[in-house]
Amino acid sequence: MQDKVCLVTGATSGIGRATAKALAAQGAEVFLLVRSRDKGEIALQELAHETRNSRLHLLIGDLARQSDIRRVAAEFLSTGKPLHVLVNNAGLINTRLRHTPDGIEEMFAVNHLGYFLLTELLRQRLIQSAPSRIVSVSSGAHAFVKGLQLDDLEFQRNGFSTFAVYGHSKLCNLLWTRELARQLQGSGVTANCLHPGAVGTGLGNQNARWARYVTRLLRPFFRTPERGASSSIHLATSPEVEGVSGKYYYDCKPIRPKPWAEDDAAARELWQLSQRMTRLP
Ligand SMILES: NC(=O)c1ccc[n+]([C@@H]2O[C@H](COP(=O)([O-])OP(=O)(O)OC[C@H]3O[C@@H](n4cnc5c(N)ncnc54)[C@H](OP(=O)(O)O)[C@@H]3O)[C@@H](O)[C@H]2O)c1
């Protein structure tokens, strides 16, 4: 990876930190996209020390704010550097309905629109840098819903449910990756996504104390972040997946998601809505 430039979102913690560390350890130049400058600087210093790689940089932006995504993407583009690997990883799970400053339900906004908008803004650079790869962290939680519900993104019809809204955002990762891979055919850019397993990370730590307590109780049964990052690292670096696109991985192997995650019409519908919600042409 010595001659590769990578960008990892959510690199302060959990799977994203472990992914960034592995890429840096393999010699790549790595941009860490983080929302907190303080946390980012600590992660950058630790990773530089642990991997002896000084080609690590911070990009600071909140993926819940589309204006931040635009600013951060412009900042990266202005470096003039190629982009060989984009890892869309930053995500969250909320136990309560929360809205972003843009007025969008937060899990859909960060977990899906964050991936969508950042990737669209960096798409031409990825194409110019081909062969290049887009790796997106989805989840087996896409099985918590039975299809897209684009007319009720907050799941108000049946009442807000953490699992449904989170699962829906992760279903969006799968359907979006499918449409993205279709659009990128022949460009030299691949797009794949993955389920990391149940991983002991900071996911959900911003929620109420009871939710953090449940997570702590379950922690012994969870994978380590390093193990959880294995498919992200495999898809980002392995020669084995050169040219492979539009797939869903678990434990470094392609698997079939639920049938409703392979619905091309739904994928196109999601794309159009995402374009409108991010005001992209
Ligand atoms: N853990 C699991 O069992 C599991 C299972 C399936 C899928 N996943 C997926 O794995 C991905 C990584 O999660 P994780 O488990 O590693 O959790 P984590 O330890 O909480 O890491 C999440 C990362 O995303 C960042 N982030 C959250 N909201 C953001 C925002 N608005 N803007 C910028 N960055 C933001 C966090 O930054 P801060 O440090 O500032 O909070 C953190 O760096 C997520 O997409 C998640 O859905 C996790």
Q: What is the pLDDT of residues 238-271, one digit of tens each?
A: 999 999 999 999 999 999 999 999 999 999 999 9
Query: Which atom of ligand 1 is nearest to 199's Cα?
Result: 3
Number of domains making up the chain: 1
Could you tell me if residue 210 is inside a domain?
A: no
Assign 203 to helix, strand or coil: coil
Looking at residue 209, what is its pLDDT? 73
218 belongs to a structural domain: no
Strand partners, 59: 33
Q: How confident is the model at residue 208 (pLDDT cuts 50, 70, 90)?
A: low
* Ligand 1 atom with least separation from CA of 201: 19
Joined tokens for residue 163: 């699992």
CB atoms within 10 A of CB 13: 18
CA angle 210, 146, 185 (to 5 degrees): 110
What single-letter amino acid sits at 14? G
Residue nearest to atom 6 of ligand 1 (CA): 139
Q: What is the mean pLDDT of the chain?
A: 95
Alpha carbon nearest to ligand 1 atom 23, residue: 10
Is 166 labeled as catalytic in the residue annotation?
yes
Pocket test for ligand 1, best of 92, 112, 163 (most atoms within 8 A of CB): 92
Tell me the pLDDT tens digit for each residue of 55-99.
999 999 999 999 999 999 999 999 999 999 999 999 999 999 999
Decide if 212 is inside a domain.
Answer: no
14 CA distance to ligand 1 middle (Å): 7
Q: How far apart are CA 18 and CA 170, in angstroms?
A: 20
Backbone angles phi, psi at 11, to 5 degrees: -90, 10
Q: Which candidate, 124, 237, 248, 229, places its Cα nearest to that of 175?
A: 248
Beta strands 85-88; 56-60: pairing state: unpaired
Q: Which two tokens stand for residue 240?
A: 């084995």
Range of the domain at 40: 5-198+225-277
Residue at 10 is within a domain:
yes
Q: What is the CATH number of the domain that holds 53?
A: 3.40.50.720
How many A from CA of 10 to the centre of ligand 1?
6
Q: How far is the CA of 186 from the centre of ligand 1 (A)?
A: 31
Work out which ligand 1 atom sits closest to the CA atom of 173: 45
Contact 139, 163 (CB under 8 A): no
Residue 230 within any structural domain of the chain: yes
Residue 213 lies in a domain: no
Ligand 1 neighbours, Cβ below 6 Å, are 10, 12-16, 35-36, 39, 62-64, 89-92, 110-111, 137, 139, 196, 198-199, 201-203
Check 115, 166, 248, 249 and give the catalytic one. 166
Amino acid making up residue 273:
L
In a domain, residue 206? The reply is: no
Q: What is the mean pLDDT of residues 210-215?
A: 72
The pLDDT tens digits of the residues spanning 110-135 come to: 999 999 999 999 999 999 999 999 99
Residue 114, in any domain of the structure: yes
Residue 32 has pLDDT above 90, yes or no: yes
Tokens of 97: 């309905």
